[in-house]
Amino acid sequence: MNKQEILKMGLSTNGKEKNSAIAISGFNVWINDVHILNNINLHIPNKKITCIIGPSGGGKSTLIRSINRINDEVPDMTIKGNIQFNGKPIYAPSIDVANLRTQIGMVFQKPCVFPKSIKENVLFGVQHLKKIDKHERLQLTEENLKAASLWKEVAHRLNDKASSLSLGQQQRLCIARTLAVKPQIILLDEPTSSLDPVSARAIENMMLELKEQYTIVFVTHNIQQAKRIADHLVFICEGKIIEQGAATKIFAKPSHPQTRAYLNDEFCEC
């Protein structure tokens, strides 16, 4: 990012982020000695949608899974560099990882509902965090299903099994469950890739509403989808950030030939 782009994003240029929720600097990941992420430098702006695009195997999932430390479970992984959340290093020994994950929620490619009712799924995470009475349970269920644009479809069947919902509804339920914990950031790894176009659009529209309250990081292979929702765009190829910046600018005039090739659906050699 050049200085002008940094200023346009509302960030300061002295290395201290003014308006970024996440600041990643010199971040590297090796798995089994294979260099998966190579010197990643990235600011994720607050209350905007950042879309991460790039060829398969380029490191998109590894990057977002590093942001809430889900990657900690990967054996033989080595990391170097820094990821800061609200100005604090998330890999510091003093960080409470469970607490970090309540503030940085994640939605996966395939909807992952628990074998419980729709209502129990919404409340699954939040009830571990605080004691909630019957009235609050209903209130939280309604509030979060509404935020995830699912309420109208399920209001009459909250005690039905979550697995009885369609895939698109299950994915919205997973989003409701994530929202119920009140995170600051929502990471989504190809959340619509297993859904039909109508369900995918419902999730896109929801993201556009949710960005007023949340910082959203959205991995997608779908360039048209990124065009519709991204404020900030990051293009990753073979573990490196090739280009990042305002989405409208990159879509109109990418600076790098690799980005141009990828956006034009051509073979991209990084």
Contacts to ligand ATP by CB under 6 A:
31-32, 36, 54, 56-62, 74
11's tokens: 């960030």
Beta carbon nearer to ligand ATP, 117 or 222? 222
192 binds Mg ion (CB under 5 A): no
Beta carbon nearer to Mg ion, 109 or 117? 109
Beta carbon nearer to ligand ATP, 70 or 179? 70
**Please, how many CA atoms are within 13 Å of residue 216, restricted to the half-sphere of its CB?**
30
Count residues binding Mg ion (CB under 5 A): 1
Q: How far is the CB of 221 from ligand ATP (least distance, A)?
A: 6
Q: How far is the CB of 74 from ligand ATP (least distance, A)?
A: 4
By CB under 5 A, the residues from 48 to 107 that bind Mg ion are 61
Q: How far is the CB of 34 from ligand ATP (least distance, A)?
A: 7
Q: What is the dihedral of CA 141, 169, 214, 233, to 10 degrees?
A: 170
Beta carbon nearer to ligand ATP, 58 or 111? 58
Residues engaged in binding Mg ion (CB under 5 A) = 61
